[in-house]
Amino acid sequence: MWQSFVNIFLDILLYIYKLVDNFGVAIILFTILIKLVIYPLMRSQIKSSAAMMEMQKSPRYLEMMEKYKDNKEKLAEEQMKLYKEMGVNPTASCLPTLIQLPVIFALYQAVIAAIVSTPLGMLDLTKRIYPGLLKIGEIFPINPSFLWMNLGQPERLFLPGINFGIPVLAILVVVTTILQTKLTMQSPTGGSTAGAGGSGAMMTGMMNIYMPVLMGFMAYTLASGLSLYFLISNVFTIVQYGVEGKLNWSALKFGKQKTAVLTGPAPVSIPQKPKTTVSTSAPAKSSTTTSSAAREEEKIDYREFKNKKKPKKNL
Amino acid sequence: MKKNKTILISVLVLFSALLLSSCAGNSTLNNATSWPGITAEENTIYTAYNSFVSAVEDGQKKWSYPAEVDKTLLFYAAPVIDGDLLYTGTYHNQIHILNKNTGELVQKIELPSSKSKIIASPVINDGLMIIPSSDGAIAAYAVSDYSNPVWTTKLSSEVWTTPLVLDGKVYVSSLDKKLNMIDLKTGAMLESVETNGAIMDHLVYANGVIYFSTFGKEVHTYHPGNGMVETIVQTTGEIWAAPLVLEDRIITADMQGNVYCSDLKTEKSLWTLNNITGDGSPIIAAPVQLSNQNILIAAENGDLFIYDLDGKSVGTRSTKLKTMSSPVVYDDSFATAFIPGDSLLKSFSNDLKENWLYQGESNTAAKTPAK
Shortest Cα–Cα distance, A118 to chain B (Å): 6
Shortest Cα–Cα distance, B134 to chain A (Å): 8
Shortest Cα–Cα distance, B358 to chain A (Å): 23
Residue B277 CA, distance from chain mean position:
21
DSSP B321: S
A98 — pLDDT class (breaks 50, 70, 90): confident
Indicate yes or no: CB of B198 within 8 angstroms of CB of A210. no
**Angular region, A282: left φ>0, alpha ψ -120 to 50, beta rest:** beta
Cβ–Cβ contact B17 with A under 8 A: yes
For residue B328, give the 3-state DSSP assignment.
strand
Q: pLDDT tens digits, residue range A56-71? A: 777 887 888 888 878 8
Indicate yes or no: CB of A72 within 8 angstroms of CB of B1. yes
Indicate yes or no: CB of B2 within 8 angstroms of CB of A199. yes
Shortest Cα–Cα distance, A81 to chain B (Å): 21
Contact B283, B298 (CB under 8 A): yes
Question: Using CB atoms, which residue from B17, B32, B158 is nearest to A217?
Answer: B17
Shortest Cα–Cα distance, A127 to chain B (Å): 9
Cβ–Cβ contact A117 with B under 8 A: yes
A197: which chain B residues are within 8 Å (Cβ-Cβ)? Answer: none
CB proximity list for A132: less than 8 A, separation 6 or greater: none
Contact B333, B350 (CB under 8 A): yes
Shortest Cα–Cα distance, A119 to chain B (Å): 6
Per cent of chain A over pLDDT 70 is 70
Write a three-state SS string for B35-65. CCEEEEECCEEEEEEECEEEEEECCEEEEEE
Indicate yes or no: CB of A120 within 8 angstroms of CB of B33. yes
Say what the ipTM of the complex is. 0.84
A residues 151-170 lying closer than 8 A (beta carbon) to B: none
Question: Using CB atoms, which residue from A109, A119, A206 is nearest to B160?
Answer: A119
Cβ–Cβ contact A285 with B under 8 A: no
3-state DSSP helix/strand/coil % of chain A, to nearest 5: 65, 5, 30
Q: What is the CA radius of gyration of chain B?
A: 22
For residue A139, pLDDT over 90 is answered with: no
Nearest CA in chain A to B195: A137
Neighbours of A190 (CB within 10 A): 15
Neighbours of B336 (CB within 10 A): 25
Shortest Cα–Cα distance, B20 to chain A (Å): 7
Shortest Cα–Cα distance, A198 to chain B (Å): 9
- pLDDT value at residue B15: 59
How many inter-chain contacts (A to B, CB under 8 Å) are there?
104
Shortest Cα–Cα distance, A2 to chain B (Å): 13
Q: How distant, in Å, are the alpha carbons of B33, B47, B77, B345 from that of B361?
A: 16, 11, 17, 11
Indicate yes or no: CB of B23 within 8 angstroms of CB of A140. no
A296 — pLDDT class (breaks 50, 70, 90): very low
Q: How many alpha carbons lie under 13 Å from residue A154 in its C-beta half-sphere?
A: 15
- pLDDT value at residue B69: 85
- pLDDT value at residue B60: 95
- pLDDT value at residue B44: 96
- pLDDT value at residue B239: 96
Neighbours of A205 (CB within 10 A): 18
A217: which chain B residues are within 8 Å (Cβ-Cβ)? Answer: 17
Q: Of A301, A228, A308, A307, which is closest to residue A265 (Cα–Cα)?
A: A301
Phi/psi of residue B6, nearest 5 degrees: -60, -45
Indicate yes or no: CB of A122 within 8 angstroms of CB of B200. yes
Nearest CA in chain A to B322: A120
B176: which chain A residues are within 8 Å (Cβ-Cβ)? Answer: 141
A212: which chain B residues are within 8 Å (Cβ-Cβ)? Answer: none
Indicate yes or no: CB of A214 within 8 angstroms of CB of B6. no
B231: which chain A residues are within 8 Å (Cβ-Cβ)? Answer: none
CB proximity list for B301: less than 8 A, separation 6 or greater: B277, B279, B281, B322
Q: Which among A140, A156, A305 is the top mutation candidate for probing chain B, defined by the most B β-carbons within 10 Å of its own β-carbon?
A: A140
Region A111-139: what's the mean pLDDT?
86
Nearest CA in chain A to B119: A118
A93 — pLDDT class (breaks 50, 70, 90): low
Return mean pLDDT, chain A.
73
Q: Which residue has the higher pLDDT, A202 or B307?
A: B307
B196: which chain A residues are within 8 Å (Cβ-Cβ)? Answer: 137
Q: Which residues pair with B349 in a beta bridge?
A: B333
DSSP characters for A148-187? Answer: TEETTS---B--TT-SS-B-HHHHHHHHHHHHHHHHT---
B residues 279-298 lying closer than 8 A (beta carbon) to A: 282, 284
Question: Using CB atoms, which residue from B9, B160, B215 is nearest to A137?
Answer: B215
B residues 23-82 lying closer than 8 A (beta carbon) to A: 23-24, 27, 30-35, 76
Domain ranges of chain A: 2-255
Phi/psi of residue A19, nearest 5 degrees: -75, -40
Indicate yes or no: CB of B20 within 8 angstroms of CB of A105. yes
A205 — pLDDT class (breaks 50, 70, 90): low
Q: pLDDT tens digits, residue range A264-295? A: 343 333 344 434 434 333 333 333 344 444 44
Indicate yes or no: CB of A202 within 8 angstroms of CB of B134. no
A109 — pLDDT class (breaks 50, 70, 90): confident
Region A227-232: what's the mean pLDDT?
91
Q: How many alpha carbons lie under 13 Å from residue B65 in its C-beta half-sphere?
A: 25
Neighbours of A101 (CB within 10 A): 12
Indicate yes or no: CB of B31 within 8 angstroms of CB of A101. no
Question: Using CB atoms, which residue from A72, A112, A206 is nearest to B27?
Answer: A112
Q: pLDDT tens digits, residue range A175-200? A: 999 888 888 775 544 433 444 445 55
For residue A227, pLDDT over 50 is answered with: yes
- pLDDT value at residue A78: 82
Contact B180, B192 (CB under 8 A): yes
Indicate yes or no: CB of A118 within 8 angstroms of CB of B198. no
Shortest Cα–Cα distance, A240 to chain B (Å): 25
pLDDT tens, N- to C-terminus, chain B (371 residues): 555 555 666 666 555 655 554 444 444 334 335 789 999 999 999 999 988 999 999 999 999 999 888 888 888 889 999 999 999 999 888 999 999 999 999 999 988 776 678 999 999 999 999 999 988 999 999 999 999 999 999 999 889 999 999 999 999 999 999 999 999 999 999 999 999 999 999 999 999 999 999 999 999 999 999 999 999 999 999 999 999 999 999 999 999 999 999 999 999 999 999 999 999 899 999 999 999 999 999 999 999 999 999 999 999 999 989 999 999 999 999 999 998 777 899 999 999 999 999 998 865 544 333 32
